[in-house]
Structure 1
Amino acid sequence: MASILSKKKEKYTLKDLKSLGNDLLSSRTHINNLPILLSFVSPESAPQFVVESLLSLQSFFTPLLSQLPSTSSIPSSSTKRSRDDDSSKTKTTESTDPEVIFKTWLRSNFDEFVKLLLVVLVSEQSEDTLRDIVLGTLMEFVKLLNVGRFHSSIYHRLLDAIIHSAVDIDVFVDILDSKYFKYIDVRYFTYISMEKFVKTLEASVVSGNRAVIETSEVESDSKESLELSVHKIYQILSQIPPPEKQAEDSQHEMWSCSDGSSSEKPKDKKKKQKEQDSSLLSPTTIAKRMKLKFTKAWISFLRLPLPLGVYKKVLASIDQTVIPHLSNPSMLCDFLTKSYDIGGVVSVMALSSLFILMTKHGLEYPNFYEKLYALLVPSVFVAKHRAKFLQLLDACLKSPLLPAYLAASFTKKLSRLSLSVPPSGSLVITALIYNLLRRHPSINHLVHKETDATANEDYSESQPKTRKNLGIDPFNNLESDPKKSGAMNSSLWEIDTLRHHYCPAVSRFVPSLETDLTIRAKTTEMKIEDYNSGSYGTIFKNEIRRRVKEVPLAFYKTIPTSLFEESDFPGWSFTIPQKDTKC
């Protein structure tokens, strides 16, 4: 039969398909057109043939969906005998009833139609417009098959086909986001399906770790498929509106109760159904259930071994898109503490969410400041997420209960970094140090730390001792423990060198630290966001906009006799040899 149909398919034209569809819709006598139209719903068929067959089949099945038996109630070929004679008689009569047999056959063809639609949907040969039409048809069946209720089985199969397909998921996500995620039941069952997919992936990961893998190629293929599935699940989850935005809507619109939801169109049934739904579920109950499903889906997803790209995307947005909408945000403490312990860029990105849990949800992290101290490296000031990190760094050091040694260690560490970062980083560091000195008056001695030579009036007696200790800084930049860094006995000599920085903006900004920051009434904190997004380009634009009163000229009033002063380098001579001008 299949070979006959395949031969006939080549002879059919678009006009023939239209006539087949019209005949099928006209009477039951043309029911044999149904398998012919089904044969054209395939990726190998031309798009116009697929659309024409799809429209005819959809028009045929839509009025019959409420009459079709469920898949589970389809009788098997061999009827088992039951102990009760009456029940066995009813089963045999039902199985021999022509109408039951006909509806059972229709149900099997409908299931085949849905299966073929899923194949066309995720086929690489299908065009985007055809995918849009097929997805819309499947969503109509999700709405219509269970009269007045969401058919979660077809929707789960739809999402499963999308996640496990080789096609780019952006097309499907755009369609779902623009047309269907505004309905609360679609979002609800999407969370449920995502949680099921995650549990399946988690089970496969556990079984894969236990199994003995023979070849490395099999291992790499399984990792790639796992990473691809995780990435697709994240794309769908990240596009669903969060529960709080859903709760703001006064009317919780449902896809299964939207217009044209069934073949039975009496208005009374719709009104009764809406009244029943509104009486059963209040807006607060719906919001609680949505938040619970949201929490289960995200928590189960974060347990998976996330690829690095997905990991960074999650950490970059989890503080705004996930934490505020969880039923219990403290459930993320394990995930965030592990991320913070990784180090590098991952720790920088996890800092924002971890800080929220510490300040708003009572999370205790004993080594928080030690880890934060270790993140202060030159590469942070050129990282992609440096702006958010520097704002959080300033917020973490704002507490007046911060120990003096800790404030001094961060101040000195930032001061040392100012020697090896771009000019924009030096500006941010100066602003951070300004805020630290203003908040913690106990470390203001770092600004005007005097040496033994300047403190002793008798310079001649202390000269050998001073020269021996000249240039020694008690601060240990390589020490990872702020307690042992020796910052309290040091000074901010690095900031003093910025007075002669090659960038005018930096040299002009340094004198702001000379003001008496202990008088808090006369000073205000600097906003780090005004400096953390700077770059060479922004500094250059600001400089060319400035109105310069005095133009610096490149000439000397007196000709220099040495390159450096002898007081800067004791024991060294930098005199310029005088040339003999005699002829």
Structure 2
Amino acid sequence: MAMSLKSINNLVEELLQSRQNCNKIVDLIPLINFEENEEVLNVILDGVGTYFCNAICNNELTKQKGVSKEMSEYQEWINIRYNECLAKIVLLLDHDSDILKEKCIVTVLRFMESKIGVALQKDNVSFPETELESLICAFIINDTSNHMQDVCTNIWKLDDVRYFALKCITKCSAECLSKIELKSMMLQNIFTLLNSISESMPAVMDETNLHTLANNGVERIFPAVNKDPVVTEKYQDSSIPFPKALDLKEQRKIFGNAWLEFLNYDLDSHLFKSVLVILQKCVIPNFASPCILADFLTRSFNKGGGIALLSLHSLFILMNEHNLEYPDFYTHLYSMVHPRVFDAKYQPRFFFLLDVFLSSTHLPAYLVAAFAKRLSRLTLVAPTCAQELLVNFIQTLIDRHPSIKILINQNTKALQKKALAGDPYLEAEVDPAKCKAMESFLWELTALSKHCSSSVSAAIKNIDKGPKQDITDLLENTYEEMFDTLCEKEIVDAPMNYRAPKTLFGGFDDAVMELWSV
């Protein structure tokens, strides 16, 4: 029979009154289950949380020498009850209520904070990794909501918790993946954990304003938490309990190890892409040695398709900022300038990155000319909404690299006739250095100079005057936008015929005249 809320409140009060009522905990622990309602569980969690925090602070969970037999048996008994309670609380992290799950996390953090407070009074300080491993295993196994991800992000703001969590993730991941078959969901949860930690990594470690569990950490990230009746000594002296945890180099080293272990798993295509999307923003800046990602990125780049496209930016950052040597980068990039890019989900991202990669004025003229010619050839098969982008891209390259103006200055009638006989440009050549782009010219733009779209034809006519529009404004251009622009345009003289008539009736097969014929 389920106990009433009033009965549970009385049970909690009796438990907290005296150690003589410690057996009441045996009645409360089994009630921590999914069958009880949320209000009852909140009361129980508050009660057992306060009880065990008091027990920890009074050294009742620490086995001591020279104590009586009764005390030794009591310590052994309460340790068993504590482990039972911890296991029950962690299981509740699969509950439907986000508020209750947050309460469970706060309760476990209170246990950890109390243990650190007691350990700080001793010479041998150790971090309570058992509780942290229990939390991380629960995060990996259970599906997490957006609210819980926000809660986790707050937890990782604590420098010591973040450091030891990174150490635990590798161990917990291996254990969970070896036992349970739902590997795709767990890999997604591991990625979510690592991503939230990545967002919480500091740029610098300020020792004058430490955010640690030892320094009132739970109260900082969860201000609504009530203080326990027994307040232990917190970290307030000049000594640092976990020096490695507060060393940014050490944090980045262990951060890199955790990510590399995760990247060694067999990730599905969706998760692979999710990793690549955040890599350059959140992961690479927090690596102690970012170049160790080179193998993963080159392997991704060689896969081709969307995965190769997403790996471009991170690979370029390693080349540009960390002196990674990858001589075939522009050759692979050149091969990606293909008509199929217009069918890709990441088309805007590709052209944005292509502009970044070709922005250096130190690139050789033959290389830039090869890309300009390739883009020019694409204008013949590209959708109308993308043609304006391509023309503006070519204008930008010519404006940025004056040495390739020869591609438009050579556009004479004599060369046009020669082009009809055969363009020297080798479209099938994969090496931009051998495609003979500098021997050709952009005749494709001449073919589009009378395009039905006024924006495309106008851009081609002003090809030698530099781009009038920034490329980033055209990346998301669609047919819908083109249609809306044309509808908003005011037309003064609307043409009603493609040839001007000379008489009211008659001329060029006038159907009206046929009505008068016998």
Q: TM-score, normalised by structure 2?
A: 0.83
Q: 2:251 and 2:22 mapped to 1: Cα distance?
A: 44
The 8 Å contact of residues 370 and 482 in structure 1, kept in 2 or not, is answered as: yes
Q: 3-state DSSP class of the match of 2:405? A: helix
* Residue of structure 2 equivalent to 1:33: 24
Q: 1:506 and 1:274 mapped to 2: Cα distance?
A: 68
1:153 aligns with 2:130: yes
Letter in 2 for 1:162: F
* Residue of structure 2 equivalent to 1:275: 237
Identity, in percent, stands at 27
1:115 aligns with 2:87: yes
Question: Residue 148 and residue 340 in structure 1: after superposition, are their counterparts in 2 closer, same or farther (change >3 A)?
Answer: farther
* Residue of structure 2 equivalent to 1:140: 110
Q: 2:152 aligns with which of 176, 193, 198?
A: 176
Question: Residue 506 and residue 482 in structure 1: after superposition, are their counterparts in 2 closer, same or farther (change >3 A)?
Answer: same
* Residue of structure 1 equivalent to 2:470: 527
The 8 Å contact of residues 426 and 436 in structure 2, kept in 1 or not, is answered as: yes
Quote how far apart the aligned CAs of 1:537 are. Answer: 3.1
Question: Residue 41 and residue 175 in structure 1: after superposition, are their counterparts in 2 closer, same or farther (change >3 A)?
Answer: same
Q: 1:98 and 1:278 mapped to 2: Cα distance?
A: 37
Q: 3-state DSSP class of the match of 2:387? A: helix
Question: Residue 133 and residue 261 in structure 1: after superposition, are their counterparts in 2 closer, same or farther (change >3 A)?
Answer: closer
Q: 3-state DSSP class of the match of 1:255? A: coil
The 8 Å contact of residues 392 and 467 in structure 2, kept in 1 or not, is answered as: no
Letter in 2 for 1:160: C
Quote how far apart the aligned CAs of 1:357 are. Answer: 1.1
* Residue of structure 2 equivalent to 1:231: 188
Question: Residue 324 and residue 24 in structure 1: after superposition, are their counterparts in 2 closer, same or farther (change >3 A)?
Answer: closer
The 8 Å contact of residues 68 and 106 in structure 1, kept in 2 or not, is answered as: no
Q: How far does the alpha carbon of each residue in 1:387-444 deviate from its partner, in whole angstroms, 9 at most, with x for none?
A: 3321321232234443443333222211111122223321121122112223444443
Question: Residue 230 and residue 449 in structure 1: after superposition, are their counterparts in 2 closer, same or farther (change >3 A)?
Answer: same
The 8 Å contact of residues 342 and 382 in structure 2, kept in 1 or not, is answered as: yes
Q: How far does the alpha carbon of each residue in 1:125-170 deviate from its partner, in whole angstroms, 9 at most, with x for none?
A: x5333222222211111211232564222011111122123x3354
Q: 2:241 and 2:71 mapped to 1: Cα distance?
A: 38
Question: Residue 361 and residue 552 in structure 1: after superposition, are their counterparts in 2 closer, same or farther (change >3 A)?
Answer: farther
Question: Residue 31 and residue 448 in structure 1: after superposition, are their counterparts in 2 closer, same or farther (change >3 A)?
Answer: closer
Structure 1 segment 77-476 matched on structure 2, within 5 A: 97-123=69-95, 126-147=96-117, 150-165=127-142, 167-178=143-154, 180-198=155-173, 222=181, 225-240=182-197, 241-245=199-203, 247=205, 251-258=209-216, 265=231, 269-270=233-234, 273-277=235-239, 286-449=247-410, 454=414, 470=420, 472-476=422-426
Q: 3-state DSSP class of the match of 2:189? A: helix
Structure 1 stretch displaced more, 51-60 or 302-311: 51-60
The 8 Å contact of residues 437 and 443 in structure 1, kept in 2 or not, is answered as: yes
Q: 2:82 and 2:200 mapped to 1: Cα distance?
A: 35
Structure 1 segment 7-22 matched on structure 2, within 5 A: 10=1, 12-22=3-13
The 8 Å contact of residues 157 and 200 in structure 2, kept in 1 or not, is answered as: no
Q: 2:37 and 2:52 mapped to 1: Cα distance?
A: 22
Quote how far apart the aligned CAs of 1:104 are. Answer: 1.7
Q: 3-state DSSP class of the match of 1:421? A: coil
1:52 aligns with 2:43: yes
Letter in 2 for 1:244: P
The 8 Å contact of residues 424 and 532 in structure 1, kept in 2 or not, is answered as: no
Q: TM-score, normalised by structure 1?
A: 0.75
Which is greater in Rg? 1
Structure 1 segment 536-551 matched on structure 2, within 5 A: 536-546=479-489, 551=494
Quote how far apart the aligned CAs of 1:318 are. Answer: 1.0
Stretches of structure 2 lacking an aligned partner (at least 5 in a row): 120-126, 220-225, 503-507
Stretches of structure 1 lacking an aligned partner (at least 5 in a row): 1-9, 75-89, 209-220, 457-465, 516-522, 560-575
Q: 1:547 and 1:232 mapped to 2: Cα distance?
A: 54
Quote how far apart the aligned CAs of 1:64 are. Answer: 1.2
Q: 1:407 and 1:499 mapped to 2: Cα distance?
A: 23
Q: 1:353 and 1:61 mapped to 2: Cα distance?
A: 48
Question: Residue 289 and residue 116 in structure 1: after superposition, are their counterparts in 2 closer, same or farther (change >3 A)?
Answer: same
Letter in 2 for 1:265: V
Q: 3-state DSSP class of the match of 1:554? A: coil
Q: How far does the alpha carbon of each residue in 1:336-362 deviate from its partner, in whole angstroms, 9 at most, with x for none?
A: 111111111111111111111111111
1:513 aligns with 2:463: yes
The 8 Å contact of residues 143 and 261 in structure 1, kept in 2 or not, is answered as: no
Q: 1:34 and 1:193 mapped to 2: Cα distance?
A: 30
Q: 1:396 and 1:530 mapped to 2: Cα distance?
A: 18
